[in-house]
Amino acid sequence: MTGNENPLIIARNERTRWFSSDRFGMFIHWGLYSIPARGEWVRSVERISTDAYQPYFEEFNPSQYNPKVWAALARQAGMKYAVLTAKHHDGFCLFDSQLTDYKSTNTLCRRDLVREYVEAFRAEGLKVGLYYSLLDWHHPDYPAYGDRHHPMRDNEEYKGRSQDFSRYVEYLHGQVRELLTNYGRIDIIWFDFSYDKMSGETWKAAELVGMARSLQPQILIDNRLGGSGESNRNFGSKNPPVYAGDFACPEQIIPPEGLVDEDGQPVPWEACLTLNKNWGYAAADKDFKSPQQVVRALVECVSKNGNMLLNVGPNAGGEIPGECVQILAEVGEWMRKNSASLYACGRSEFPKPEWGRYTQKGKWLYAHIYDRGIGPVNFRGLAGKVKKARLLEDGSEIKLERPWMTTEYPADAFIDFPSSRLPDALDSVVELELL
C-alpha cells in the first residue's frame, strides 16, 4: 500500500482541499495574559501561582473587544481563515463552558467571547478555527510538580499533592465536545501541544479525534496531539495513527524544502508565525516584522506548498495593536493586487530563481521578483515556453524580448523593466502564461 492509497490519507487530502487553496490565515492569542502583557507563557516563565494569577481574572473586562473589527482586518489583509485561542495553557476559557467557572462569562465582561468571534468571522466569509490547549495550569488534576512546563513544577508544596489525571482527560474531552457542539460549524480545531509522556494516547487522542469527527466530519485537526511545533512526528507516515492530524504546523520556521511524506509527496502544512516575538500581547515587544517580510514569508510558504498562519495578540482591552493593524493594512493592499499568485497556487515545476521565487497554478506561472539586479530579468529554461507576460498588479503587458547581450543563453527567456527600480518594493509579481 502506498501513502496515496491509505484511506486515512485520501480522506485527509479531501478535507484539506480548501485549506491548501486559501493559504493565508490569522492566529489570535488572547486571554488573561494580555493584562500582565508579558506574553502568553508568563505564568510558566515567572512561576506564578494560581492565587497570584487570580487578580487578572477578577479584572478582565475587555470593553474594546469588537470581533467584527478583527474579522474585517483579517479579510482586508487577504486572510481566508482564522484560529482563536478558546483556551490557552493557563486554563482560562473564552467560552461559556459548563465544566468550569474559570471562563469569560464569569468575569466583569460577562460575555461568551468565542461565540462573538465565530459569528463575526463567519459574517465576513472567513472560515473559523478554535485553538484548544491540551495543557491546563489551572486544573487541579493536571500534573504540576516535576512537569516540564507547569508554573509549580519545582514548588515542593505540590510534590505530594493528590491528582487524578483521568478526571482532567475527561474534562478536556468534555470541553472539546462543547466547542464542537455549541458554536455551529467549526472548520479547524487546533490542539496544542504534546511533549514528553504527555502525548498521543495520554490524551486518549484516538477517542478525541473520533468524537470530533462524529460531531463535525469536515473539521481539520492539526498534528499536535502527537507532537509539538518543533516536531512533525507521525505526520507524513505511510500508516499514520488516527490522531496524526490533517496538517503539520511548524512553529516560527518555514521548512527549507516544505514538507513531504515518506514517498516524497507533498503534505498539507502551515507555518505559524508571530508578527513580533510573542504570541500573546507583550507591551514592550516592538520588534515587528515589516510588511515586506510578511509578504515574502507568505510567498515562500506557498512556493513550498504550504500555508501561513500569522499571529496577532490583542491587548487587555481587546484591541489588536496599532502596529499590527498598519502592517496588515499594507499586506492587504499588496494582496488586493497580487493574491491570484497565492490562492490555489503551490510549488512551481521550475527551480527557485536567483531573483526571488516562483508560485504556480496550472499554466499560470508567477514570478515573484525581489531583486532587480542588472540588465534584463532572466527566466532560466523558459525560452519558447511562455505565451505572454504581464505585471499582475495592473495587468499591463510586459514584453518578452531577447536583448543583444543574451545570445549565449538560448534556453532562457527575458523581460526588462523600464526603470532601474522594481514596481513594488515588497514583491513585484509577473504573471507568465505558459504554452
Residue 90's closest CA among 123, 132, 47, 43?
Answer: 43
Mean pLDDT of 191-205: 97
For residue 34, tell me if it sits in a domain.
yes
Residues 108 and 165 in one domain: yes
Residues 306 and 397 in one domain: no
For residue 139, tell me if it sits in a domain.
yes
Q: 149-153, 257-261, 302-306, 428-432 — which is least confidently predicted?
A: 257-261
* CA–CA gap between residue 398 and residue 351 (Å, rounded): 22
Cell 524580448 belongs to residue: 401
Instruction: Label residue 3 by pLDDT band (50, 70, 90).
Output: very low
Inform me whether the pLDDT recorded for 186 exceeds 90.
yes
pLDDT value at residue 37: 98
What is the count of structural domains for the chain? 2
Angle at 180 between CA 78 and CA 116, to 5 degrees: 55
pLDDT value at residue 5: 74
Mean pLDDT of 364-383: 95
For residue 350, tell me if it sits in a domain.
no
Q: Give the ranges where 124-267 is alpha helix by DSSP (H).
A: 165-181, 205-215
Structural domain containing residue 139 = 3-341
- The proportion of the chain whose per-residue pLDDT surpasses 90, expressed as a percent, equals 91
For residue 203, the 8-state DSSP code is G
Instruction: Label residue 4 by pLDDT band (50, 70, 90).
Output: low
Asked whether the beta carbons of 128 and 216 are under 8 A apart, the reply is no
| Phi, psi angle pair for 307, to nearest 5° | -110, 170
Inform me whether the pLDDT recorded for 1 exceeds 60.
no
Cell 515573484 belongs to residue: 368
pTM of the full structure: 0.97
Residues 180 and 253 in one domain: yes
For residue 55, the 8-state DSSP code is H
Inform me whether the pLDDT recorded for 251 exceeds 80.
yes
Asked whether the beta carbons of 301 and 308 are under 8 A apart, the reply is yes
For residue 88, tell me if it sits in a domain.
yes
Inform me whether the pLDDT recorded for 295 exceeds 80.
yes
pLDDT value at residue 193: 96
Inform me whether the pLDDT recorded for 2 exceeds 50.
no
Residues 364 and 333 in one domain: no
The CATH number given to whatever domain includes residue 398 is 2.60.40.1180
Q: What is the pLDDT of residues 68-111, one digit of tens each?
A: 999 999 999 999 999 999 999 999 999 999 999 999 999 999 99
Mean pLDDT of 52-67: 98
Inform me whether the pLDDT recorded for 275 exceeds 50.
yes
Q: What is the pLDDT of residues 124-136, one digit of tens each?
A: 999 999 999 999 9
Final residue before a domain boundary, out of 298, 318, 341: 341
DSSP-assigned letters across all residues of 288-309:
PPPHHHHHHHHHHHHHTT-EEE
Residues 388 and 303 in one domain: no
Q: What is the pLDDT of residues 10-37, one digit of tens each?
A: 899 999 999 999 999 999 999 999 999 9
- The proportion of the chain whose per-residue pLDDT surpasses 70, expressed as a percent, equals 99
The CATH number given to whatever domain includes residue 307 is 3.20.20.80
For residue 375, tell me if it sits in a domain.
yes
Mean pLDDT of 405-425: 94
Residues 336 and 366 in one domain: no
For residue 424, tell me if it sits in a domain.
yes
Residues 409 and 260 in one domain: no
Q: What is the pLDDT of residues 383-395, one digit of tens each?
A: 999 999 999 999 9
Handedness of CA 111, 50, 27, 186 (dihedral sign): negative
Handedness of CA 418, 420, 422, 425 (dihedral sign): negative
pLDDT value at residue 195: 95
For residue 348, tell me if it sits in a domain.
no
Residues 392 and 287 in one domain: no
Asked whether the beta carbons of 192 and 231 are under 8 A apart, the reply is no
For residue 371, tell me if it sits in a domain.
yes
Residues 62 and 20 in one domain: yes
Residues 118 and 209 in one domain: yes
Cell numbers at 287, concatenated: 520588534
Inform me whether the pLDDT recorded for 46 exceeds 70.
yes
Mean pLDDT of 286-298: 98
* CA–CA gap between residue 403 and residue 414 (Å, rounded): 8
Residues 427 and 312 in one domain: no
Q: 80-94, 167-181, 216-230 — which is least confidently predicted?
A: 216-230
Residues 54 and 114 in one domain: yes
